[in-house]
Amino acid sequence: MAQPLPELLLENRTAVNLEISIGDTVWISGLDTQERPFVVVGTYRRPADPSTVTLRDYRATFHLSDLQELLGAGDRVDRFSVLLRPGASRDAVIAEIDRLAFGADALATEKVAAATSETFRVVSRFHRALAGITITGAAVFLLCLVVLKLEERRLEGASMRDVGISRRTLFLWMFSETLVMAGIGTAIGLVLGWVGSALINAYFRRLYDTSMAFARVTEELALLVAFIGLATGVVVGTLAGLGLVRSRSSRLRQL
Amino acid sequence: MSNALSLAWRTLVRRPRRLLLFIAGVTVAAAVLIDMVMLAEGLQRSLSDLLEETGYQVRVVPKGTLPFETEAAILHSTRVAAAFSADPRIADVVPLWGRTIYASSPGAEAVATFGYGAPAGTAPTLRLRVGRTLERLGEVVINRDLAERFRLSPGDSLLVGLEPDPAVGALRSRRVVRVSGVADFMFAAAGSATLALTLEDLWALAGTTSEPAALLMIRVAADANPYAVARELRGRDTSVDVYAIPEIIEAAGDRLTYFQQLSLVLGTVSLGVAFLLVTTLLTLSVNERWGEVAALRALGVTRGRMLAQVAWQGLMISAAGTVAGIAAGLIIARYLDGILTSFPGLPVNLSFFVLDRNDALLAIGLLVVTGLLAGLYPAWRAASVNIAAVLREEIE
């Protein structure tokens, strides 16, 4: 009786591009090994892993022994994942493996995660730097608008001072107007950010055939943006308010 | 024209602090635009320059892959290279292969390195610093990181082998090689230990007899067209992909979509901000001088001159902001490039922000046109003022 063929799973993209279906037989070889037949028993979607999302390579998953045989790799593996028994000391196990296994490093999960997430830390630093530039630009833009407002109000402000309106009222007038402007701008910015993130996700999910989220407006992020927007409004509003109340009315008219 | 220019200048400097603030706004917008223009194609240009520097204009890789992207290989590469070399339009063919190699020196722990294999006498991706390139079997060229780690210089010995074997407590398939030179590897990641052996040594070390190559680099004859050569080779062998350098950059484009999209979005936003700033300032300036504008028109200043005067103001603000923005943009680009080039695994010589003359001119042109367009509405308002009504209002 003929031996059943060894099995493999194909990643969706590989199966689609190579026009292979479940149940088909495919012939695969290693660098120095003969071609061998495998039967495709299923397909899978590549895990939503940011570090591999842009790669376009074809992927298949084998039983370990089949892959070792195909590669002529003997009993070699790239790594072991070790699950400790409850109560076992992770550090002690790591030290023991390092002592016993020549040429192998035992690493705690966080260390592996930290090493593989370095790319995203760089992206994060880049985004923070861009955010800094954007905030500077937005602050200058807001300041420009407020200066224009201030100049537009110069006569009105001088007249109000002359008829006895207090400095405090004038300050609050300018301050609150700036704050409202910053608030409306921040709200529009958040809506645009939310719409933008939806568009970005739709575009890149389609491009890379993945379920991964590329941009997300989280609650914490929205609060941070609101805080920065309003804080900018408070600073610029204070400057504008002081600009209006500190000048003498005669000077304001001359402007 | 000179009168309109002079009047525009005097109108602007009437409020110097306000003018400076608006120029600062346009400067930030211009700096972002310049940076985004540099980023949009920067990495592709930088990569293209590196590939061109090797002097080989065509790459042959296993079907569906890019060089060293996967472990896929072109088998029997010597035979394949010889077949390509027979083409009179091809001046040289160099197969390259690579895999992880462990290196060690007496008393030191073995380190994993990326080992390249190239035919003896060729060094298309090396910039030699000390010594000479690979000329015979048993030689190795190492990068500066490896040289510093093991304190090696040309003439010294180095132990190389495959991964450590826990059963015997030593590197598998180990052998001693002699350092012939120390070089910078053009495509090696920053801070990574890298070495080059002859292809024959690397194949022997890996225990393979199928003469694998990750890619073939082809130098075309001086009078041959790399695109035409690539196209024909592609048709000749369907198991490989053949790329001229611009084609390989395009094929790698998917990975760089993010930067192109980001550049497009931020560049567009920065132009929008510059437009709004200039329009707002000029509209307010015209509103403030409403009576003056009407009086000038009443004195016989033509609509065209009024229009030109306001348009000049827009142009002056955007020009000043553009000049300052280019300077600021270059400084910011350097800072941002420092962040992005710290990506792990990225070749040392790549850059994300590259200033190309044509792109710089495009950015400047966009800013100038934006300044002009931004002045259109306020200029139209100034030119179409109802002289009698405004003068009456001013008197009342």
Is-contact B186 B126, C-beta < 8 A?
A: yes
Residues 128-157 of B with CB under 8 A from A: none
- Other beta carbons within 10 Å of B113: 22
Task: For residue A76, give the chain B residue with the closest CA.
Answer: B165
> Which of B15, B166, B254 is the closest to A102 by Cβ?
B166
* Closest residue on chain B to A103 (Cα): B164
Higher per-residue pLDDT: A230 or B277: A230
So what's the pLDDT on residue B173?
84
Q: What is the mean pLDDT of residues B166-176?
A: 80
255 residues of chain A, pLDDT tens digit each? 677 899 999 998 889 888 999 999 999 988 778 889 999 999 998 777 766 777 777 889 999 999 998 888 778 888 889 999 999 999 999 998 888 777 778 899 888 877 777 778 888 898 889 888 888 888 888 788 777 777 777 777 778 878 888 888 888 988 998 899 889 989 998 999 899 899 988 988 887 777 888 888 889 889 988 998 899 889 888 988 888 887 665 555 554
Question: Which positions 293-322 of B are in contact with A (Cβ < 8 Å)?
Answer: none
> Among candidates A131, A122, A134, which has minimal Cα distance to B338?
A122
Q: Do A54 and B22 touch (CB under 8 A)?
A: no
How do B194-198 and B111-118 pair as beta strands? Answer: parallel
Which value, in Å, is the radius of gyration of the alpha carbons in chain A? 32
Does residue B35 register a pLDDT over 80? Answer: yes
Q: Does residue B39 carry a pLDDT above 80?
A: yes
CA end-to-end span of chain B, whole Å?
34
Shortest alpha-carbon distance between residue A102 and chain B (Å): 5
Cβ distance B158 to B179 under 8 Å? yes
For residues B35 and B270, the answer to whether their CB atoms sit within 8 Å is no
pLDDT for res B239: 81
Q: What is the mean pLDDT of chain B?
A: 86
Paired sense of beta strands B240-244 and B215-220, if any = unpaired
Q: Is B164 on the interface with A (CB under 8 A)?
A: yes
Q: Calculate mean pLDDT across residues B205-228.
A: 91
The answer to whether residue B323 scores a pLDDT higher than 80 is yes
β-pairing verdict for B164-165 and B240-244: unpaired
Interface touch B265/A196, C-beta < 8 Å: yes
Three-class DSSP category at B330? helix
How far is residue B277's CA from residue B320's CA, in Å, rounded to a whole number? Answer: 13
Write the ipTM: 0.77
Q: Under an 8 A CB cutoff, do A151 and B15 touch?
A: yes
What integer pLDDT is reported at residue B147 of this predicted model? 93
- Enter the tokens of residue A114: 């930290």
Three-point CA angle B343, B99, A13, nearest 5°: 70
Distance (Å, rounded) from C-alpha B320 to C-alpha B69?
Answer: 46
Q: What is the pLDDT of residue A74?
A: 79
For chain A, what are the domain ranges? 7-71, 84-116, 120-254
Dihedral, CA of residue B128, residue B129, residue B131 and residue B132, to nearest 10: 10
Helices (H) then strands (E): counts for chain A: 9, 4
Closest partner CB to B28 (pick from A32, A122, A140): A140
What confidence score (pLDDT) does residue B396 get?
A: 67
pLDDT tens digits along B354-373:
988 888 898 889 888 888 88
Residue A75 tokens read as 């009993």
B contact residues 256-275, partner A, Cβ 8 Å cutoff: 257-258, 261, 265-266, 270, 273
d(CA A238, CA A169): 13
Residue B3 near residue B300 (C-beta atoms within 8 A) = no
Whether B221 shows a pLDDT value over 80: the answer reads yes
Q: d(Cα B316, Cα B324) in Å, to the nearest integer?
A: 12
What's the average model confidence in pLDDT over B8-34? 84
On whether the CB atoms of residues B144 and B129 are closer than 8 A, the answer is yes
